[in-house]
Structure 1
Amino acid sequence: MNDDRILTKIDELGRATLTLNRPELHNAFDDALIATLVEALKGFERDEQVRVVMLAANGKSFSSGADLNWMRRMADYTFEENLADANGLAELMKVLANLSKPTVALVQGAAIGGGVGLVVCCDIALATEQASFCLSEVKLGLIPAVISPYVATAIGARATRRYFLTAERLDAREALRLGLVHEVLADREALAARAEALSRAMLQNGPRAMAAVKELVAEVAHAWLDDDLIADTAERIAEMRASAEGREGLSAFLEKRQPSWVRG
């Protein structure tokens, strides 16, 4: 799906790139664009050829969050209309965070409000030195409620309280220190090269295993370490060992060959 606002591409190796393409509006989104993003991500989820998903943006900014015209419309919305809007954004964040394919955010500029939400919902976040981040909702008398679980997971509750309350702008190095991003690169060229290397590395891995790893982390990250959790983790590895992918991976290792899923 290619249109003026979002560009999607899937290469011969199965790497899908979704690019925000409203540079003149700092890649802000509204309800219609949110629905389009959800549709694109669900399409990647269904496509068995897609192995890795990368989220990028054209222009100076990564995403400034809510579009100004959308915010003007919101000012006259009823509670029910606002709730429907919020649920649309919540679905976008949920779909992105729960995608079974690995996701990589390429942050080349400013990410504001909901734009930060897109970043923290990805499995891996890369940023240039020029990137910046701001959770600015309180400046408008609002709160970043929909993205809050993902931000808190990324940087912890204490840091989340601080930056939700102050609406300070973070540079790329501070974002790295907090865990908001994983790596900082010198410029866009270095950003693209690192994304290329990481995506190729993930193409060497079992696709079902990577999906299972994402489910595993979601289950164990905040779970109480008790007998039920221990039993669950044992069952998960037993299932993977007995799966076709697990058997192929072990056979390939013992036979000193590449497994059948390797690309690139």
Structure 2
Amino acid sequence: MTTHALTQTEFLAYGAESEYVGVLRLNRPELHNAFGDLMIAELIKALDELAALPGLRVLLLESTGKNFSAGADLNWMRAMAQKDYQQNLTDAGALALLMKKLNSFPLPVIALVQGAAFGGAVGLVACCDMAIATPKASFCLSEVKIGLIPAVISPYVVRAIGERASRRYFTTAERFDAATALQLGLICEIAVSEIASNEEPTALRAKAQPLIDAIVANSPQAVVAAKALVAYVADAPLSADTIAETSRRIAAIRVSAEGQEGLSAFLEKRTPAWQPSFSAGQ
């Protein structure tokens, strides 16, 4: 695998790690990757830049250190407590924009979670298309413990774990483990390994590799269109308009260049032009 240098900012490292794989890494381990207004601004900018990079097929959201993210930075929360309603509304809008951009990122996003993912960090995980956690990972929607609510992240968390589970964990602020997160649908796999805890990122990457390889083997255009299709259908009623739109989408991709190449390759029993001849992780 050809490696590339990542852009380093105060709180992040991001960029094209290889020809097909992008990385967005929270890099504030000394504060457990807690985020405030500056880190949120950096994340928004990074997502915009990553979306514009040519050739990427998949994005990994990961973090350095013991914990994925402790959620909101205490100093940031302390500062917001001193501000008025309008200032808090503006501040919440920035976090809402971050969640929207991550949720609607055009490529599949895989979250790799170790240690704690608390508060807003659960929102980050919920916005990703897939999430893998280590066995010792833990999650908590902790906002009500300090008199707040998980409002901005709620549209994504409720979609990820369902209304019933949200009613429980939003109001109890219970801490739940990776096995429970898997059962709820917040994560899709647990990276079980016998390796030492300081090598957990390696285990997460190893577990993610089959997903990365599967995505890279597929039509780039179709993968983007398939993700957009899920977003459209999930919020659409089963109506004549929805049926017409899904028909339009399949017709459009059938006559596209990649649609024609894919069908031809299948009928001719050959590898399509977009498929690498090597694993994305090699």
Q: Structure 1 length normalisation: TM-score?
A: 0.97
SS of alignment partner, residue 107 of structure 2: coil
Letter in 2 for 1:141: G
Question: For residues 131-153 of structure 1, what are the alpha-carbon distances to aligned partners after superposition, in whole Å with 9 as ceiling and x for unaligned?
Answer: 10000000111010000000010
Partner residue in 2 for 1:256: 269
Task: Say yes or no: does 1:48 pair with 2:54.
Answer: yes
CA distance in 2, matches of 1:51, 1:215: 14
CA distance in 2, matches of 1:68, 1:86: 15
SS of alignment partner, residue 63 of structure 1: coil
Partner residue in 1 for 2:150: 144
Q: Give the alignment partner of residue 33 of structure 2, picking from 27, 33, 47.
A: 27
Matches within 5 A, 1:83-94: 83-94=89-100
User: What is the Cα deviation at residue 158 of structure 1?
Assistant: 1.2
Structure 1, unmatched stretches of 5+, are none
Task: Say yes or no: does 1:173 pair with 2:167.
Answer: no
Partner residue in 1 for 2:73: 67
CA distance in 2, matches of 1:67, 1:197: 34
Q: Give the alignment partner of residue 79 of structure 1, picking from 81, 85, 93.
A: 85
Q: Structure 2 length normalisation: TM-score?
A: 0.91
Partner residue in 2 for 1:8: 14
CA distance in 2, matches of 1:226, 1:94: 26
User: What is the Cα deviation at residue 256 of structure 1?
Assistant: 2.2
CA distance in 1, matches of 2:96, 2:240: 33
How many residues align structurally? 264
Identity %: 56
CA distance in 1, matches of 2:192, 2:105: 29
Which stretch shifts more, 75-84 or 254-263? 254-263
Question: For residues 149-175 of structure 1, what are the alpha-carbon distances to aligned partners after superposition, in whole Å with 9 as ceiling and x for unaligned?
Answer: 000101111111110000000100001
CA distance in 2, matches of 1:77, 1:35: 19
CA distance in 2, matches of 1:190, 1:61: 15
Letter in 2 for 1:68: L
Task: Say yes or no: does 1:105 pair with 2:111.
Answer: yes
CA distance in 1, matches of 2:81, 2:217: 49
Contact 2:60 2:112 in 1 (8 A): yes
Task: Say yes or no: does 1:206 pair with 2:222.
Answer: no
Task: Say yes or no: does 1:226 pair with 2:239.
Answer: yes
Contact 2:11 2:42 in 1 (8 A): no
Task: Say yes or no: does 1:124 pair with 2:97.
Answer: no
CA distance in 1, matches of 2:88, 2:265: 53
Contact 2:15 2:50 in 1 (8 A): no
